Amino acid sequence: MSFLYQNTLLILIGIKRQDMYRKAKELGYTHPIVVSVSQELDHLLNRYQNEVS
C-alpha cells in the first residue's frame, strides 16, 4: 500500500470517527443514523486493516 493511500485512509477514519461521536452525542448511540455512520467507520477500518496486513 502506498504511503499516500495509507495516510488518506487514516484521515478518513479520523473524520468518520469524529462524525460518529458528534452524531451520537446529539442523537444517542442507538439512533439509526449513528449506527449507519458506525458501519461506515467499520468499513474504513476493515479496508485499512486489509491493506496493512
Q: Which of 2-6, 38-42, 46-50 has the lowest mean pLDDT?
A: 2-6
Confidence band, pLDDT 50/70/90 cuts, at residue 1: low
Per residue in 3-40, is it b (16+ CB within 10 Å) or e — as a string? eeeeeebeeeeeebeeebeebbeeeeeeeeebeebbee
Q: Is pLDDT of 28 > 90?
A: yes
CB 6 within 8 A of CB 51: yes
Average pLDDT over residues 16-33: 98
34 Cβ partners below 8 Å, 6+ apart? 20, 23, 24, 27, 28
Average pLDDT over residues 16-32: 98
